[in-house]
Amino acid sequence: MRLACDTGGTFTDLIVEDDHGNLNMFKASTTPQDPVLGVINAVELAAEAAGLALADYLASVDTFIHGTTHAINAVITGNTARTAFLTTQGHPDVLVLREGGRQEPFNFTVKYPEPYIPKALTFEVPERIGADGGILRPLDEEAVITICQQINEQGVAAVAVCLLWSVANPIHERRVAELIERCCPGVVYTLSHALNPTIREFRRASAAAIDASLKPLMGSYLGSLSTRLNNAGFNGRLLVLTSQGGMIDADEIAQSPIRAINSGPSLAPIAGRYFGQNAMSGADIIVADTGGTTYDVSLVRGGRIPLTRDAWIGAPFQGHLTGFPSVDVQSVGAGGGSIAQVDSGGLLQVGPQSAGAVPGPVCYGRGGTQPTLSDACVALGYVDPDYFLGGTMPLDKNAARRAIEEKVADPLGMSIEDAAAAIVTLATENMVQAIADITVNQGIDPQQAVLIGGGGAAGLNSIFIARRLSIPRLVIPEVGAALSAAGALMSELAADYRAVEFMTTADFDSDRANRILNGLKEKADVFLAEVGEGTFEPKMQFSVEARYEQQVWEIEVPLPVAAFNSEADINGLVESMHQTHERIFAFRDEQSAVEIIGWSVRASCRVHKRIIGRMRAHVKEAERAATRKVWFPVSGAAEASVLVFAQLEINKRYSGPAMVESPFSTVVIDPESIFWRLQDGSLVIDTQIKGDAACP
């Protein structure tokens, strides 16, 4: 039996797959003060549903897959370890100067951001490596020992080391590490060349600083999770999701916790790719995961999930750049818990503030007083207050209406229904903008794509988002309410290895390129050999970081070969660059040579032969009304059919308006839509019907 758990801002999602491929889904409230407790609570719900004691239930689990926002929350709130930064003498401002850029270039009232590690904890190391790897100035070991003494005196718990051109020759960083181990017992450290081999110094420094600062916290968190699960009866394998869309053993993530910074949202496109290809083969896929706090958008193009090195924690240029490859996920502060309010100018705002798990929306009855998107959906009739979470958590519809009336409707001189519809419309517009930003930036036309709606609140307004962007097909997977957790079940054990070596196709050295690729392949082979028996479909994917001549920034380009044995192999690399560049920027420069900055390989394998099972059908669904009066933002009041998600016939076409309900979500379908279910259990909704084109 496999368990996949994703800790979000409002709910902790758990998906259970038994040995026969049957899926069950559970949701427990996230406990911000103790995230591990939320995980245990979710597992207790699963054990209760199975009629077993927690210890007996966990004893039957062979794999527990965990995704968490604990790392990123620690960075955002500043609850990381006291960390020192060691850099080459003469370069103490690398974390201060950054790479430039402003969100608002003409707004000079915006304060310049503080460095991730303050200048008071920045130390200059007398040494210098050249760009060619040569030693220009030997390492002054006595100076490093003195720095270590100062680190001990200042109560530092972690050290980030980023020396100039350590990617060309790491000898000085490695020696500094030896001295830290000798002189600073108990202090953890991160070496930039080992963590993030890239030529851009700020990105290496920022990644090392973030990673080092998280090591004490994440080591403690994962240790607590492992210990408490073991004490509760779990004896299987604990895997943690990474922001690269894979998973690794928990003890490995504790050694480089930056890999778990965005682990939850990065798994949604894994699931989205599977369900999107089933619904519209060959189309670009937009994956939108609606949580209680954020709306996360990612893409799948040509079956590949794009990675980015421009992942920011916080606002771009104002926050902190991870500098580490991760799945490209854009997030906005719009979710089911987004608070609606009228500002001093009489304008309605929705988000980015969220009611979160505590106190939550007003309808939860936990002390919330500010109306949210969830309250608006309850007021509009989209959510049955007696069937939320399958009836285990009744909602207070009257309280939601009163809050909307007091905080929004009366100040704007509107009816409660119009005010609630305005909240939904504005939240929808915020989400639409997030999708428009990421699709246009990568050359995707939403009108030619399929939209995957994930998250517990996805079904409430995804149809309005699809219509706003003229997306022809919307898909709500049956596991969509826990899309990231479902992606965890589909994810692979994976490891990425990289090397920094400059080369140009104008003077390509096949022998040197093959030595680089062979070195990466050897590391990948070791990883695949060490993952143990019981894995499936081992594979390697090679890629390069490449650019045209005179370009400043490089892009990730798939490498079609694992070795260069002929001129045709080199031409294949060039053509791959042209195709990738044209797909992103809409042009190719065939007259330019291709410059290669970095080389990488991703080694991966499956830990389970089955990709994902199917949701277990509930023996008996609660009796509900056949229709319900609901309110649509454009067309107004309508009598909508109320259908049970699990009871829809496969490939039978239905017409809106309808509310398709499951214990974990409600899918709102407007009057102009046609919908049906696929064999994989997904609900497909066509927003633009032309003849029989929408037939499955």
pLDDT band at 128 (very low <50, low <70, confident <90, very high): very high
Whether the predicted pLDDT of 695 surpasses 50? no
pLDDT at 690: 47
Task: Judge whether 23 lies within some domain.
Answer: yes
**101 and 199 together in one domain:** yes
| C-alpha separations of 593 from 546, 554, 555, 598 in Å | 10, 13, 15, 16
Shared domain check, 111 and 43: no
> Residue 512 falls within a domain, yes or no?
yes
Q: How far apart are CA 382 and CA 253, in angstroms?
A: 41
pLDDT at res. 694: 38
Domain of residue 551, CATH code = 3.30.1490
Q: Which of 387-391, 582-586, 657-661 has the lowest mean pLDDT?
A: 387-391
- Mean pLDDT, rounded, for 535-547: 91
Same-domain pairing of 26 and 49: yes
Say yes or no to pLDDT of 619 above 50: no
Q: For residue 247, what are the domain limits? A: 2-75+218-263
Residue 444 within any structural domain of the chain: no
Residue 426 has a pLDDT of: 92
* For residues 530-554, average pLDDT: 88
User: Is position 618 within any domain?
Assistant: no
Same domain, 408 and 371: yes
* Number of Cα atoms under 13 Å in the Cβ half of residue 617: 9
Neighbours of 495 (CB within 10 A): 21
Domain identity same for 48 and 114: no
User: What value does the mean pLDDT take over residues 584-612?
Assistant: 90
**Domain identity same for 179 and 88:** yes
Question: Tens digit of pLDDT for each residue in 489-504?
Answer: 888 888 999 999 999 9
Same domain, 244 and 126: no
Position 482 scores a pLDDT of 84
* Alpha carbons 311 and 41: distance in angstroms, whole number: 32
**Residue 372 per-residue DSSP state:** B
| Cα–Cα distance for residue pair 546/549, rounded to 1 Å | 10
**Residue at 169 is within a domain:** yes
Same domain, 222 and 190: no
pLDDT at 693: 37
DSSP character string of 127-168: -EE-TTS-EEE---HHHHHHHHHHHHHTT--EEEEE-TTTTT
Question: Do 189 and 111 fall within a single domain?
Answer: yes
> How far apart are the C-alpha atoms of 157 and 212, rounded to whole Å?
9
The sign of the dihedral angle between the CA atoms of 398, 403, 404, 405 is: positive
Reply yes or no on whether the pLDDT at 696 is more than 70: no
- The 3-state secondary structure of 282-304 reads CCEEEEEEECCCCEEEEEEECCE
Task: Examine the pLDDT at 622 and tell me if it is beyond 70.
Answer: no
pLDDT, mean of residues 678-688: 89
Cis peptide before 118 (omega within 30 of 0): no
∠ Cα 264 269 271 (to 5°): 95
> 3-state DSSP call for residue 500?
strand
The pLDDT value recorded for residue 623 is: 60
Residue 322 lies in a domain: no
End-to-end CA distance of the chain: 33
512: helix, strand or coil: helix
The answer to whether the bond into 361 is cis (omega within 30° of 0) is no
Mean pLDDT in residue range 130-141: 95
Is the pLDDT at 293 greater than 90, yes or no? no
Whether residue 127 is predicted with pLDDT greater than 50 in this model: the reply is: yes
Rounding to the nearest 10 degrees, give the CA dihedral for residues 244, 249, 251, 253.
0
Question: How far apart are the C-alpha atoms of 286 and 686, rounded to whole Å?
Answer: 15
Grouping H, G, I as helix, E, B as strand and the rest as coil, residue 396 is: coil
Distance in angstroms (rounded) separating the CA atoms of residues 105 and 458: 34
Name the residue with tokens 């826990």: 482
Contacts of residue 643, defined as CB under 8 A and 6 or more positions apart, other chains included, come to 654, 658, 659, 660, 661
Closest CA to 169 of 136, 212, 122: 136
Question: Is there a contact between 217 and 223 (Cβ–Cβ < 8 Å)?
Answer: no
Domain end, chosen from 234, 263, 292, is at 263
Highest mean pLDDT among 300-314, 428-442, 582-596: 582-596
Instruction: Give the per-residue pLDDT at 621.
Output: 54
Residue 615 lies in a domain: no
In terms of domains, do 30 and 65 share one?
A: yes
- Which two tokens mark 561? 């070969």
Most confident of 26-30, 76-80, 85-89, 609-613: 85-89
Strands 348-354 and 326-327: unpaired
Q: What element of type H or E holds 441?
A: helix 416-441
Highest mean pLDDT range out of 268-272, 589-593, 605-609, 653-657?
589-593
pTM (2 decimals)? 0.85
* Domain final residue pick, 155, 190, 217: 217
If one counts the domains in the chain, the total is 4
pLDDT score recorded for residue 689: 46
**CA angle, 123 as apex, 122 and 126 as ends, to 5°?**
150
Say if residue 128 is in the same domain as residue 16: no
Does residue 450 carry a pLDDT above 90?
yes
Percent of the chain whose predicted confidence (pLDDT) is above 70: 96
377 vs 607, higher pLDDT: 377
Domain boundary among 232, 263, 294: 263
How far is it, in rounded angstroms, from Cα 383 to Cα 630? 9
Find the CATH number of the domain harbouring 237: 3.30.420.40
Examine the domain organization and report whether 24 and 52 are in the same domain: yes
Q: Is 448 part of a structural domain of the chain?
A: no
Under 8 Å CB-to-CB from 554, ≥6 apart: which residues? 545, 546, 547, 595, 597, 598
Residue 595: band (very low, low, confident or very high) from pLDDT cuts 50, 70, 90: very high
Sign of the torsion angle spanned by Cα atoms 240, 246, 249, 254: negative
d(CA 519, CA 515): 6
Higher-confidence residue: 18 or 206?
206
Burial of 17 (0-12, 13-18, 19+ CB in 10 A): buried
- Take residue 616 and report the two structure tokens written for it: 């277990």
- Reply yes or no on whether the pLDDT at 445 is more than 90: no
Helix (H) or strand (E) holding 577: helix 567-585
Mean pLDDT over the full length of the chain = 89
